[in-house]
Amino acid sequence: MEKGNYKVDENGFYGDFGGAFVPENLQKNLDELNHCFKSYYSSKEFQDEYNQLLRDYVGRPSPLYLAKRLSAKYGAKIYLKREDLNHTGAHKINNTLGQILLAKHMGKKKIIAETGAGQHGVATATVCALMEMECIVFMGALDMKRQFPNVQKMRMLGAQVIPAESGTKTLSDAVNEALDYWIKNTDSFYLLGSAVGPHPYPDMVAHFQSVISKEMKKQLLEHEGTENPDYILACIGGGSNASGAFFEYLDRPEVKLYGIEAGGMGVETGKSAAALLTGEEKVLHGSKSLVMCDENGDVREAFSISAGLDYPGVGPLLAHMKSTKRLNVLASTDSEALEAAFELTHLEGIIPAIESSHALAALGKIKFKPTDIVVVNLSGRGDKDMEMYLKHYAFLVEEEIHKQ
Ligand SMILES: *Cc1c(COP(=O)(O)O)cnc(C)c1O
């Protein structure tokens, strides 16, 4: 199950990154959680229930689709791993289902979670409804306005959504408030949404998302007669879909791994969410990783068109993979991602999430051979992004009119 050099150590570190920087009373909760994860995750009881839900509730395995027109355009064999087809529209449900089963096993009744765009909040509220648990979601007050349909979904699913009014009123503040609440209410279970935060969350979330690369190996063997692609591309917010898509290949250096960050207005402008490319070593939200900082060493606000990538930090596994050169890191700007979203829609009839479009936009930045097998992890679908896409579309139409 564990992976050589990229296996977490017993203190929760990947090389220099990770750990658990939390108050003492939370450390007790984390130890309990880690113990439950270690003993229960590999049990037959957990695996049976988890795998059955992944199949019948989520709709797994997600297809590995050979995108012929996209392949012709970029001169390689390009496959899309269709996480966009999962129940609730993205990879996030793989993780929330895993964690809710741990919570149930630990006898917890109350779940707390943070959310940015609302995708993790919806996936958490979904599994709470399924398992009859109380659900409290912390969400930046500004994000609640920007992503109101997801707030309504969470409420319909029975969750209580609490606005985070501090700081910039976005994801980073929601995590702070969820952690604060947890410190005061240690009987609750914190269901964290990405491969970030204190140990054991990054390791645990990567394991729950590893179903993506486990399926990929089987599907490639079927389609191509080999488990290994030449490239895997995934977008990086906190790093959960990327960790899952890379997981089974960490110790296979012949498979090139590419993580694509949100370049926002351009990495060089400082208005980005490119924590791997521009971050410094710092503790954020309970673990040490690469974090975007200002000249005083304080956390800098992230900037991206994509709410799901709009986070100033990144998970410790990916920071370690970058520092050991296992991971190639690129960035796609807001406008490159928008263009890629329209390109996929026109070529393949698939409207991708704006997060996933950042990975798609990297296809034009890598020099492929015609025989290369490339997998892009299509982390989610674009329904939630329609308003923004339509605005961009109106802009494109207007440009067209001006040209004539
Ligand atoms: C949340 C989200 C992401 C970013 O989160 P990671 O933890 O980096 O995977 C990417 N794509 C979609 C569709 C998302 O909802």
Q: What is the pLDDT of residues 276-300, one digit of tens each?
A: 999 999 999 999 999 999 999 999 9
Query: Which protein residue's CA is at the shortest distance from atom 3 of ligand 1?
Result: 308
145: CB partners within 8 A, 6+ apart:
none
**pLDDT band, very low/low/confident/very high, at 404 (cuts 50, 70, 90):** confident
Nearest to 237 by CA among 386, 151, 120, 384: 120
Catalytic residue among 92, 108, 288, 384: 92
Which atom of ligand 1 approaches the CA of 119 most closely?
15
383-359-303 Cα angle (round to 5): 75
Same domain, 96 and 85: no
Distance CA 38, CA 99 (A): 13
Residue ranges lining ligand 1, Cβ < 6 Å: 90, 92, 119, 194, 235-242, 308-309, 353, 355-356, 379-380
Same domain, 351 and 288: yes
From the CA of 385, how far away is ligand 1's center (Å)?
13
Distance CA 205, CA 208 (A): 5
Query: Which protein residue's CA is at the shortest distance from atom 13 of ligand 1?
Result: 380
Same domain, 146 and 199: yes
Predicted local confidence at residue 3, as pLDDT: 43
Distance CA 201, CA 96 (A): 12
Q: Which of 148, 180, 205 is the last residue of a domain?
A: 205
**pLDDT band, very low/low/confident/very high, at 2 (cuts 50, 70, 90):** very low
pLDDT(64) > 50 = yes
pLDDT(1) > 60 = no
- 379 belongs to the catalytic site: yes
DSSP 127-172: HHHHHT-EEEEEEEHHHHHHTHHHHHHHHHTT-EEEEE-STTSSHH
Domains identified in the chain, total number: 2
**Does 2 fall in a domain?**
no
Q: Which domain holds residue 139?
A: 21-54+92-205
Q: Dump pLDDT digits (tens) for 65-92.
A: 999 999 999 999 999 999 999 999 999 9
- Please give the average per-residue pLDDT across 201-210, as a whole number: 98
pLDDT(36) > 80 = yes
Looking up residue 156, the CATH number of its domain turns out to be 3.40.50.1100
**Does 47 fall in a domain?**
yes
Which is more confident, 145 or 403? 145
Predicted local confidence at residue 319, as pLDDT: 98
Rg (CA), the chain: 20
From the CA of 338, how far away is ligand 1's center (Å)?
16
b/e sequence 247-260, b meaning 16+ C-beta within 10 Å: bbbbeeeebbbbbb
Q: Which of 177, 205, 233 is the last residue of a domain?
A: 205
Same domain, 72 and 173: no
Query: Which protein residue's CA is at the shortest distance from atom 2 of ligand 1?
Result: 308
Q: Which of 159, 187, 205 is the last residue of a domain?
A: 205
Same domain, 85 and 100: no
Distance CA 76, CA 252 (A): 21
Which atom of ligand 1 approaches the CA of 193 most closely?
7
From the CA of 239, how far away is ligand 1's center (Å)?
7
Q: How many CB atoms lie within 10 A of CB 139?
A: 30
Catalytic residue among 114, 177, 339, 355: 114
From the CA of 207, how far away is ligand 1's center (Å)?
16
Distance CA 234, CA 256 (A): 12
Which atom of ligand 1 approaches the CA of 309 most closely?
4
From the CA of 376, how far away is ligand 1's center (Å)?
14
pLDDT(252) > 70 = yes
